[in-house]
Amino acid sequence: MWDDPARGQRLNTQLSRLNDSLHRYAGLVRQLDDVVAMQELLGDEDDAEMARELPAKLSALEAELDRVELANLLSGEFDANDAVATINSGAGGVDARDWAEMLLRMYLR
């Protein structure tokens, strides 16, 4: 690693990504445990506040799972690299230019 700084940097980047994934997984497990515990408590006793809080917790868990799924989809060998996209309206006049501008706005969001 000391003889090849570029390799060391790649390894550190990979280690950082793996640590991030591990922390994200641990957070998901904690959220899931919270939801399961809330459901068990609601089965034992009737708590209106907890019943209102449970759907919000489930929504937060689902949103985090969606983020993890997207991160897993984009975890290939070249997915961390930058990309350049060029949008040209070409021949087509005002309509083509408007379409190219809408497409650009979509990608920038």
Residues 58, 101, single domain; the answer is no
Q: Which residues in the chain land under pLDDT 50?
A: none
Residues 12, 48, single domain; the answer is yes
pTM above threshold 0.85: no
Q: How far apart are CA 79 and CA 82, in angstroms?
A: 8
Residues 24, 64, single domain; the answer is yes
Residues 58, 103, single domain; the answer is no
Q: How far apart are CA 101 and CA 107, in angstroms?
A: 10
In the block, residue with structure tokens 């984009």: 74
Helix axes 48-73, 5-44, angle to 10 degrees: 150
Residues 52, 98, single domain; the answer is no
Domain count, the chain: 2
Instruction: Look up residue 2 and give its two tokens.
Output: 């000391």
Express each pLDDT in 80-97 by its tens digit. Answer: 788 888 998 888 889 999
Residues 88, 67, single domain; the answer is no
Residue 51: the pLDDT is: 85
Q: How far apart are CA 34 and CA 6, in angstroms?
A: 42
User: What range does the domain containing 12 cover?
Assistant: 5-75
Q: Which residues of 54-67 are buried (b: 16+ CB within 10 A; e: fewer)?
A: beebeeebeeeeee
Residues 13, 54, single domain; the answer is yes
Residues 14, 62, single domain; the answer is yes
